[in-house]
Amino acid sequence: MKKHLLGLSFLLMMGMMLAACSGDSNQASGEGDGEWSPEKPVEIVAPAGAGGGWDTTARSVGKVLEEEGIMEQNIGVVNKEGGGGAVGWSYINSQNNPHNIFVSSPPLIFVPLNGQSDLSHKDFTPLANMIADYGAFAVAEDAKWENLSELFDDMKDDPSSVTVVGTSSPGSMDHMQFVSIAKKAGVDIKKIRYVSAQDGGGMTQILNGSADVYSTGIAETVEQVKAGKVRVLGITAEERIEGDVLSTFPTAKEQGIDATFVNWRGFFGPGDMTEGQVAYYEEKLKEVSDSDAFAEIRKNYGWNEMYMNSEEYAKFLDEQKEELSGLMEELGLVSN
């Protein structure tokens, strides 16, 4: 314990020296709206197992924070898997410590609406959004549809003539992104046949004809499109994405369907946080977002930059919830 204190005071001294230009920072524990900086290692919780989207985001941001020297404290990534995120969220909530932050994405909206978590985005403090990913709807190369309008025309006649496959279960990402676009196109969303397939099953199923449309992330389709095995009918972004193959993917919007769907990913802290704490993380995450190292990571994973500060993020989340809960209510997926 003594050693610990010693190390801490050493760090504090270092901090004070460094902070000479940026003002007084030895106001260690957050009092009111004073400035704040972490006094022990920061823990980034990925509310999922190793290897998933949350985990890779947490680890890559953690790495940039540490290697670029943006945060002076050590950063550890902890996996709290379970309940589609619910286990990790309740962990953060029970710790209620500004040194524990977590990564999340649209499931933070779906899962509480599904009734699978008592905690919702309102119970946490949005710190900053980092990246955006968009959905793509892919079909096999020999499919009869050339674009979304043709697909949705068929589905308007008989929604159950088309089988849609995705990785997540109904009421989550892959399902909802398809439903929200199809709804705008005028399809009866209650009659859509949706199948969930894990372990690479989605791509497999459209390649062998077990399913017709694969609702997934854009990055998952690129290589197959390059090889001429599948065709992307439309993506859920506002406008086309840059990149040699990516730029050939038409958006739903340009095909006359006025709908978008963003798979955002960002950082949250526990419910009780002071302004100083929020400002601290906002600034650090902004630095990460602007760094070349993170730009490289975004490029490799096919993510898009989408920085939002805490305030913008909170507003954005409320809008998201509004929009999604309407859809989910119509499908009878909202449980109280």
Instruction: Tell me, residue by residue from 116 to 155, as one string, x for binding to another protein by CB under 8 A and - for no binding.
Output: xx--------------------------------------
3-class SS at 299?
Answer: helix
Residues 194-213 that bind another protein (CB under 8 A): 194-201, 203-205, 207-211
Q: Is 135 buried (19+), middle (13-18) or exposed (0-12) by CB count in 10 A?
A: buried
Query: Minimum distance from CB of 19 to another protein (Å)?
Result: 25
Query: Minimum distance from CB of 318 to another protein (Å)?
Result: 23
Query: Minimum distance from CB of 23 to another protein (Å)?
Result: 30
Residue 259: count of CB within 10 angstroms of its CB: 16
CA 72 to centroid of chain Cα atoms:
26
Contacts of 209 (CB under 8 A, 6+ apart): 140
Choosing from 50, 95, 243, 330, the residue that interacts with another protein (CB under 8 A) is: 50
Window of 76-84, 261-269, 278-286, 309-317 that interacts with another protein by CB under 8 A: 76-84
Query: Minimum distance from CB of 313 to another protein (Å)?
Result: 24
Residue 76 is given by DSSP the state E
197/279 with CB nearer another protein = 197
3-class SS at 20?
Answer: coil
Paired with 308 in beta bridges are 129
In this structure, is the dihedral angle defined by the CA atoms of residues 61, 64, 70 and 76, taken in order, positive or negative?
A: positive
Angle at 233 between CA 228 and CA 234, to 5 degrees: 125
Residues 176-195 that bind another protein (CB under 8 A): 190-195
213/278 with CB nearer another protein = 213
Contacts of 243 (CB under 8 A, 6+ apart): none
3-class SS at 251?
Answer: strand
> Does position 105 bind another protein by CB under 8 A?
no
Count of residues of this chain found to bind another protein when the rule CB under 8 A is applied = 67
Window of 19-27, 47-55, 251-259, 281-289 that interacts with another protein by CB under 8 A: 47-55
Window of 53-61, 99-107, 259-267, 273-281 that interacts with another protein by CB under 8 A: 53-61
Q: Give the whole-angstrom CA distance, residue 16 versus residue 63.
A: 24
Query: Minimum distance from CB of 201 to another protein (Å)?
Result: 6
> Does position 335 bind another protein by CB under 8 A?
yes
Structural tokens at position 280: 């601290």
119/279 with CB nearer another protein = 119
Q: Is 147 buried (19+), middle (13-18) or exposed (0-12) by CB count in 10 A?
A: middle
Choosing from 15, 34, 83, 250, the residue that interacts with another protein (CB under 8 A) is: 83
Following DSSP, what letter does each residue of 110-158 receive, concatenated? Answer: HHHHHTS-S--GGGSEEEEEEEEEEEEEEEETT-S-SSHHHHHHHHHH-
> Does position 11 bind another protein by CB under 8 A?
no
Q: Give the whole-angstrom CA distance, residue 35 versus residue 26.
A: 8
> Does position 243 bind another protein by CB under 8 A?
no
Query: Minimum distance from CB of 238 to another protein (Å)?
Result: 24
64/308 with CB nearer another protein = 64
301/316 with CB nearer another protein = 301
> Does position 331 bind another protein by CB under 8 A?
yes
Q: Which residue ranges make up the site for another protein (CB under 8 A)?
A: 1, 3-4, 43, 49-51, 55-56, 59, 63, 76-84, 86-87, 90, 114-117, 160, 163, 169-172, 190-201, 203-205, 207-211, 222-224, 226-227, 229, 297, 299-301, 331-333, 335
